[in-house]
């Protein structure tokens, strides 16, 4: 998703490694597109954030 000078890439993956591999492939496509359209991204301002939907361990109920 892109708007003005901002870009968001949501990446699926069953593991952190799988998401990283997928993301690198997509970033290569973005880099090729930006080069052909003479657009530069500021790598120093670029950020990555890992968001996970890991299941929390069930809490055991203790009856006192």
Question: Would you state the pLDDT for residue 60?
Answer: 59
User: Mind listing the pLDDT tens digit for each residue in 2-61?
Assistant: 776 677 888 888 888 888 899 899 889 988 988 999 988 777 887 777 777 766 555 556
Please report whether residue 21 resides in a domain.
yes
- The Cα–Cα gap between 9 and 31 comes to 13
Please report whether residue 57 resides in a domain.
no
Please report whether residue 64 resides in a domain.
no
- The Cα–Cα gap between 18 and 34 comes to 24
Question: Would you state the pLDDT for residue 29?
Answer: 92
Question: Would you state the pLDDT for residue 25?
Answer: 92
Q: Where are the alpha helices (DSSP H) in the chain?
A: 16-36
Please report whether residue 58 resides in a domain.
no
For residues 50, 1, 29, 36, the Cα torsion angle rounded to the nearest 10 degrees is -140
Model's pTM, two decimal places? Answer: 0.62
Domain span at residue 21? 10-45
Please report whether residue 31 resides in a domain.
yes
CB-based burial, 7-34: b 16+ in 10 Å, e otherwise: eeeebeeeeeeebeeebeeeeeeeeeee
Question: Would you state the pLDDT for residue 56?
Answer: 57
Work out how many domains the chain is built from and give that number.
1
Please report whether residue 5 resides in a domain.
no
């Amino acid at each position: 998703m892109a708007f003005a000078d901002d870009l968001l890439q949501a990446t699926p993956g069953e593991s952190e490694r799988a998401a990283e591999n997928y993301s690198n492939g997509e970033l290569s496509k973005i880099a090729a597109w930006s080069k052909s359209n003479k657009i530069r991204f500021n790598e120093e301002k670029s950020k990555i954030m890992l968001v996970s939907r890991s299941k929390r361990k069930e809490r055991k109920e203790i009856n006192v």
